[in-house]
Amino acid sequence: MKWNELLIRYGEMSLKGRNRNYFIRKLKKNIEAALSDLDSVQLIAERDRMFLYADDSNDMNSAIERLPSVFGIQSFSPVAKCEPNLTDIYKKALEVIGSDETEGKSFKVEIKRTDKKFPYVTSELQQMIGGHVLRNFPGLHVDVKKPTILLNVGIREDGAYLTSKVYAGAGGMPVGSNGKSLLMLSGGIDSPVAGYLMMKRGVAIDAIHFESPPFTSDLATRKVMDLAEKLSSFGSPVKLHIIPFTELQQMISKQIPDEELMTTTRRMMLRIADKVRVQANALGIVTGESLGQVASQTLESLTAINEVTSTPILRPLISADKLEIIALAEKIDTYSISVRPYEDCCTVFKPSNPKTRPRIEKVAYFESFIDFEPFIEEVVKARRVVDFPSQKDEKFTDLL
């Protein structure tokens, strides 16, 4: 079946007016980036929908495979075009319907006739085309209320446009349309999922990772790089900032009693992340925290950790259960990377008995014996930055 164009329906574009054009431009750019190697593809954006054309049918098929991973698309439909006369419309209708399994399915024809000079009215056309389809596909039956197959026929002066398939898009908003944030990316299951969810809401992502060699291995860092690369396949190039955390972490564990160790470590990580955030031109910080999951994620802990900055901390998983997070991780294909058995810095330096209700005054008191600021500045300067340009990944065909 040769499709002539794809009709792309926009997802949520909650902001109105001039912002809408901005969203549409962003979406167009993101689609162009996802399809940049498909030479024959052309996009025309209108206020309410976008059209994609491709002369080469391989390009068209690749576009159909890739569009479901682009945020900001609600759904899309391949469209076949023919001359606006009954003979050609009949022929095309059979081709379009025949491109799907029909046995035992219900269907309905819907006509949109904008060419008022066309010699048949809508109700006549509906019956004639419907009758023709039924005669040729005896396995079909009509259901006007809830048809499985809805054949749309648009009759305009320049041609007839037929479509019967609706592919789900990824929903959300175009990546980059809601600014950029810095994702605290561990090698765990949660943080990549958190990054994905923020990208879905239009946020471009850079990432920061804390490594503590030789306590953490190269393979642990490799794992984080693979996660960053995977995230870049959702429409945003990702810059990964890798912080050499060993010395500072050792200093913290010497200075701070076991009970407050975890809280202070997290506070230092957040202070470092906040400095990198400024340099990365990011507005917020994203974490994979989920309420009550571990000692550092009680409301009391989050409050004590959060106290070091007024930057918005985005925690898209705060209300998610672990099993829900795992299901998402599997869906976006980060799970198999996350479960590789290499420990990150927090696991290595894990105190035996962390407080679930740390007291800020106590934490601040122990921290006050050392001026951490110069050490924080130092690791920010010493960081490595690895670039992951936006990837094209054809595997994500049914994400929602």
Tell me whether residue 73 or residue 189 sits nearer to ligand ATP (CB atom): 189
Tell me whether residue 251 or residue 294 sits nearer to Mg ion (CB atom): 294
Q: Which of 83, 91, 92, 152 is nearest to 118 (CA)?
A: 83
Tell me whether residue 50 or residue 262 sits nearer to Mg ion (CB atom): 262
Q: What are phi and psi of 205, to 5 degrees?
A: -125, 130
Please pick, from the candidates 178, 236, 296, 334, the single residue that binds ligand ATP as defined by CB under 6 A. Answer: 296
- Could you tell me the two tokens for 273? 């992340």
* Listed ranges 67-75, 173-181, 188-196, 236-244: which one lies at the site for Mg ion (CB under 5 A): 188-196
Tell me whether residue 274 or residue 344 sits nearer to ligand ATP (CB atom): 344
Bond before 214 cis per omega within 30 degrees: yes
CA 81 – CA 4 distance, rounded (Å): 6
Strands in the chain per DSSP E: 5-10, 41-45, 49-54, 73-82, 106-113, 141-142, 149-156, 159-163, 167-171, 180-184, 204-211, 238-244, 284-286, 313-314, 384-388
Residue 191's binding partner out of Mg ion, ligand ATP, none, with CB under 5 to 8 Å set by partner kind: ligand ATP
Please pick, from the candidates 5, 59, 190, 393, the single residue that binds ligand ATP as defined by CB under 6 A. Answer: 190
CA 183 – CA 175 distance, rounded (Å): 14
Q: Which of 83, 81, 75 is nearest to 165 (CA)?
A: 75
* Listed ranges 79-87, 126-134, 137-145, 189-197: which one lies at the site for ligand ATP (CB under 6 A): 189-197
**Least distance (Å) from ligand ATP to the CB of residue 35?**
31
Q: Which of 184, 223, 181 is nearest to 199 (CA)?
A: 181
The total number of residues shown for the chain amounts to 400
Tell me whether residue 34 or residue 194 sits nearer to ligand ATP (CB atom): 194
**Least distance (Å) from ligand ATP to the CB of residue 161?**
47
DSSP string, 307-353: TT--SPEE-TTTT--HHHHHHHHHHTT-HHHHTSS---HHHHT--SS
Q: Is 297 in the site for Mg ion (CB under 5 A)?
A: no
Please pick, from the candidates 264, 287, 311, 390, the single residue that binds ligand ATP as defined by CB under 6 A. Answer: 287
- Distinct helix (H) and strand (E) counts, the chain: 14, 15
Q: Is 235 in the site for Mg ion (CB under 5 A)?
A: no
Tell me whether residue 177 or residue 191 sits nearer to ligand ATP (CB atom): 191
Give residues with Cβ within 8 angstroms of 154, minimum separation 6. Answer: 111, 112, 113, 114, 160, 161, 162
C-alpha dihedral, 111 to 12 to 170 to 319, nearest 10°: -140
Subset of residues 168 to 187 that bind ligand ATP, contact rule: CB under 6 A: 184-186
Tell me whether residue 120 or residue 342 sits nearer to ligand ATP (CB atom): 342
Q: Is 188 in the site for ligand ATP (CB under 6 A)?
A: yes
Percentages (nearest 5) of helix, strand, coil residues in the chain = 40, 20, 35
Residue 209's binding partner out of ligand ATP, Mg ion, none, with CB under 5 to 8 Å set by partner kind: ligand ATP
**Least distance (Å) from ligand ATP to the CB of residue 347?**
7
Q: Is 186 in the site for Mg ion (CB under 5 A)?
A: yes
Please pick, from the candidates 78, 172, 174, 188, the single residue that binds Mg ion as defined by CB under 5 A. Answer: 188
* Listed ranges 56-64, 179-187, 367-375, 378-386: which one lies at the site for Mg ion (CB under 5 A): 179-187
Residue 210's binding partner out of ligand ATP, Mg ion, none, with CB under 5 to 8 Å set by partner kind: ligand ATP
Please pick, from the candidates 74, 77, 99, 293, the single residue that binds ligand ATP as defined by CB under 6 A. Answer: 293
| Residue 79 CA, distance from chain mean position | 26
**Least distance (Å) from Mg ion to the CB of residue 288?**
7
- Please identify the residue of the shown chain whose CB is closest to the bound ligand ATP: 188
235, 393 Cβ separation under 8 angstroms: no
- Binding residues for ligand ATP, rule CB under 6 A, total 19
| Residue 336 CA, distance from chain mean position | 18
Q: Which of 148, 162, 13, 161 is nearest to 74 (CA)?
A: 13
Subset of residues 335 to 394 that bind ligand ATP, contact rule: CB under 6 A: 344-346
Q: What are phi and psi of 52, to 5 degrees?
A: -115, 130
Q: Is 246 in the site for ligand ATP (CB under 6 A)?
A: no
Residue ranges that bind Mg ion, judged by CB under 5 A: 186, 188
Residue ranges that bind ligand ATP, judged by CB under 6 A: 184-186, 188-191, 208-210, 287-289, 293-294, 296, 344-346
